Structure 1
């Protein structure tokens, strides 16, 4: 095929696809990819085409290498691949490449599935695809090489849990999100690194920093939960719960009547996160006479993470130290309105490692300014 070339191969690789079905099951194709090299300065790629049925599916014949080089066969009819050639052998297309052929297995990202829930995350990969790409189960791991995958239903699943085993997961934050990051890779040198023939799949769980929740307070106490789900992002829940006393042991339930000037205790909690890593911070809380967050008539209870100095009944009992924040105030009514009040809070998540989660009020409004902007809103309702 290449006259005058004194070529002595040292290795050969052949992959055959026999009667492979088209995506729409309207036909089949049989073909081969052949790699041959002398291991030093000369290599060849041969594509051999057998019986191929006609199809209306999009197709392209040829090869593309990991270094970006490629060669596509100039044929417009898929059936003719079996009878045409560039080396006078029907059905064979051969290409000479100057450098040795380096085979780098590739695992399509489309075969990876990721799930996130609070401080936990998982990545599952098709065991079949890993096998076809040349990766055995025992060589893959998370950043922590002791964290191997487990086989479930023909998939290899990798898990991390900040409450049990972080497995090398790193925790970061930017202006709008908290991010848990990890990688699935091969044992190659020290840590998880990307080398020729290696595998490195990075995945992350992303959560918005800021949320807004509302609790309408009427005459019946019913529990309520908001569950936030972000497309391809993580999920978590925020709860707003009323209590009758500062012990926060038994929340209100059933039919309850509150008197004006009666102290009410509120807990705002986020679940599925490690309280040693993540803190929930009350940015501001306010009440309105109607069930509308941005109603023009309002009464502020917490401003800039601290009690409103105009309301001496507000006490912030816990804020920015764990996944639960607590405050209390005395019940009131809006003049010229009915007796209902609707309570709203804007909160954000904070990394405790930053050392800047718990506010320092000292009798004055907290003057800290954040670079974060309001990112996401949600409302929960609780008749009370």
Structure 2
């Protein structure tokens, strides 16, 4: 959706909504920014029906309305689903933009539900919104399953670290006498705490085994969902991308048809370089923006590390960046550039429905 399509018309009213778990604060403003009314509604289907009834365009001598709210938690997804069912126009506001606008307009740092709803309405009125839309079908299921997969994998890794710590407490000499466990009879570990530590270690192992079984189950669900998504088969043709990389990229990006250019994936990941110039100081180091999805950024980082070992095309690009005679990049900076290159490749193979070609020759641009 383009920026012009997100901006309200001159004869629309804007309904700014500050979402909460139980009750939402709504503010209706006109196209000129004047507040018309305010009210609260509960977070339920009846409450949303009341919101739509009290914000009817005809009641305010307008021809249309646009509802605006922040993408906070899971509440916005429930509201967006109901609005889509009813064919309502809505836009999503970045919470960071609301915070910055409130700080600029409220120097006393006052924060209330009413002020937040007013800032949301103002951002929607000026068109400073995003075209975010909820996922559906296998894409939604994949995002949820991938999130669970990451959490279970992290918890299993934490338990492994905890078990390692307990084993060192039980038997500090374990790594030195691995084949002679009878040496435990002369261990330096204190005897009085061994029994309790051993019981705790057994329970840690039991929890770890449970997590391993759950991880295998979730991985099977993710693999089944990838089989339903056409982009997955093309993304997997990039050398160096495995199950986790393919699943993570698609889970965070959603349908590739929502994007017009690969640079949008780079911006979504927050790996796009940013410029910081002021006065006579220009140019210099351009760091990543880190404004996008941290999860996608992590997946892109791990995928790039794998591709540098298994993808000769990306490895050649990395070597060229760090060894070029003019302005060679530092290793981590070159790695960030390779992350962006990989995301551009991912967009290309998924959008064009073509397998990755190592010997692909790029067309020369016309002079």
TM-score range, shorter chain: under 0.3
Q: Bigger radius of gyration, 1 or 2?
A: 1
Question: Larger helix proportion, structure 1 or 2?
Answer: 2
